[in-house]
């Protein structure tokens, strides 16, 4: 979809498009209300401003739109393809071993039990070990701090999805 096409969508279709970037219904409504956008920079700026105008409940709604990384089989499949790339694109990165995947799954479940929402990280390009290290580093934070950190990660994810969703 081009920016022009997005600008011309009926409100319900634009809402649906934005919900593929972030499932916070309040954020999606704010984005629809801000249409039309003059250029991609304006769209991204509004996305950020509108995200910062959201409440804790809006953030939690957005977090709920992500699957939890907790199924070892899905983790194994996700990181299997990185083996060949790791030596070329990620100097020094090791492939995800079974122990790392199991620990990542266990830590994700502990994080959910402690904070009441899943661990959110912009995982694009991150190895399983990097995600596990980040999860361990953030686990002991208080929940208010984690909401703030997760909201910042959610914004990164949302901006990436907007960029991927629009043809440039």
**Which residues participate in catalysis according to the annotation?**
66
Measure the CA angle with vertex 145, ends 140 and 149; round to 5°. Answer: 100
- Residue 17 zone, left/alpha/beta (φ > 0; ψ -120 to 50; rest): alpha
Token pair 């249409």 is found at 35
Let me know: does 133 contact 123? Beta carbons within 8 Å. Answer: no
As a whole number of Å, the end-to-end CA separation of the chain is 9
| CA atoms of 15 and 83, how far apart (whole Å) | 38
């Amino acid at each position: 979809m081009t920016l022009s096409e997005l600008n011309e969508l009926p409100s319900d279709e634009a809402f649906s498009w934005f919900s593929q970037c972030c499932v916070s219904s309040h954020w999606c409504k704010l984005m629809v209300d801000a249409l039309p956008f003059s250029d991609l920079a304006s769209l991204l700026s509004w996305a950020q401003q509108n995200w910062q105008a959201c409440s804790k409940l809006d953030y939690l709604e957005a977090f709920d739109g992500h699957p939890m990384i907790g199924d070892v089989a899905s983790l194994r499949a996700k990181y299997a393809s990185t083996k060949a790339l790791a030596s070329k694109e990620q100097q020094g990165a090791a492939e995800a071993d079974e122990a790392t995947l199991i620990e990542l799954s266990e830590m994700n479940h502990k994080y959910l039990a402690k904070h009441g929402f899943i661990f959110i990280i912009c995982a694009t390009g991150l190895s399983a070990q990097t995600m596990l290290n980040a999860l361990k580093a953030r686990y002991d934070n208080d929940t208010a701090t984690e909401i703030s950190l997760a909201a910042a990660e959610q914004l990164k994810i949302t901006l990436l999805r907007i960029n991927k969703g629009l043809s440039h």
